[in-house]
Amino acid sequence: MNASRLLEREGTVASSASVTRSDVVSLTEALATRFPVSRALVGDDVFRAMAHAFIESSPPLFPVPMAYGDDFGDFINTFPLPRPVPYLGDMARLEAARTRACHAAEASPLTVVELAAYAPHAWERFWAVLHPSVQIVRSTYPIVSIWEAHIAESPSLVDSSRPEDALVARRELQVEIHRLPHGGAAFVQCLMSKATFREAADKAAVEDPQFDLVTSLSVLLSHHLIVGLNSRAGR
C-alpha cells in the first residue's frame, strides 16, 4: 500500500486499532520526535504514512510506554516506500537506541586507578560491566555519518557505500553516538554477553582481521563506559 492511500485512511487507523484519532495524532508526533532523521530522509508525508501504518499494526498499551517505537526500524523494512532509502530501517534503529540510552539507569565508571588495580589478570579472567546505556547498532551503511550529516544539515556530503557500526551511550546527561573501529562492534557485543577481554578480542579478530584491541578498548575507556569488572565463577 502506497503512502497516499495510507494518508487517505487516517481515520481507519484509529478505528481499527481502537485508538482515537487524537491518539493517532499524538502518537505520530511522538514518533516524529523520536525519529527526526528518519523523518527527514523520507519527508513529512511519507513519514506520517509510515507512522499511521505502524500504529495500526502495533497499537500501544495505555499509558504509552517509553519503549513504544523500539521496533519501528524493523517495521520500516517491510514498508513499501515510494522512493527506496535502503538505510532507513537502520537509521530508525539508531534513533531508537538514542532514546533508550537517554532513559537508561545511571552508573559510575571505574577510575583509572581502579582499573589499574585489576591488571594484569583482567585480560584473562574478567569481563567488563558496561554502562547501562551502552548499545550497539550495526549497519552495512554509514549510519553514523548519515546521522551526523543530517544533524549538521549537510546530507549530500555522505558516501553511502561504506558500512559503519555505532556505539550509543549516555555520558552524564548527554547521549553520544560514536563510530566504532574495525571489529569494535563485535568486541563490545562480546563484552556485553559476559565474554572475557581475551575472548571478546579473539572473536572480534576472527570477524574482522583489522581489529585492534587498543583502539577499541580506548573507545570504552575514553568515554568512561566501563563501570565494573567481574570474574566468572570458578575462574
- Which pLDDT belongs to residue 155? 63
Q: Is the peptide bond before 209 cis (omega within 30 degrees of 0)?
A: no
pLDDT of residue 196: 94
Q: Which residue has the cell 537506541?
A: 97
Q: What is the dihedral of CA 17, 20, 21, 22, to 10 degrees?
A: -130
Predicted pLDDT at 123:
78
Dist CA 52 CA 79 (whole Å):
11
Contact 95, 34 (CB under 8 A): yes
pLDDT score recorded for residue 233:
55
This prediction has a pTM of 0.87
Provide the pLDDT for residue 156: 63
Across the chain, the runs of DSSP E, i.e. the strands, are 126-130, 135-139, 164-171, 174-179, 226-231
Question: What is the spatial distance between Cα 165 and Cα 143, in angstroms, rounded to a whole number?
Answer: 8
Q: What is the pLDDT of residue 68?
A: 92
User: Is the Cβ–Cβ distance between 195 and 127 less than 8 Å?
Assistant: yes
Distance, C-alpha 64 to centroid of its chain: 20
CB atoms within 10 A of CB 93: 25
pLDDT in single tens digits along all 235 residues of the chain:
444 444 444 444 334 446 788 889 999 999 999 999 999 999 999 999 999 999 999 888 777 778 899 999 999 999 999 999 999 999 999 999 999 999 999 999 998 888 888 877 777 888 899 999 999 999 999 999 999 988 887 666 677 789 999 999 999 889 999 999 999 999 999 999 999 999 999 999 999 999 999 999 999 999 999 999 998 654 4
The architecture in CATH of the region 104-231 reads Alpha-Beta Complex (3.90)
pLDDT given for residue 189 in this prediction: 98
Rounded to whole angstroms, the Cα distance separating 98 from 30 reads 14
Nearest to 108 by CA among 192, 226, 188, 231: 226
Within the chain, all domains assigned CATH 3.90.930 are found at: 104-231
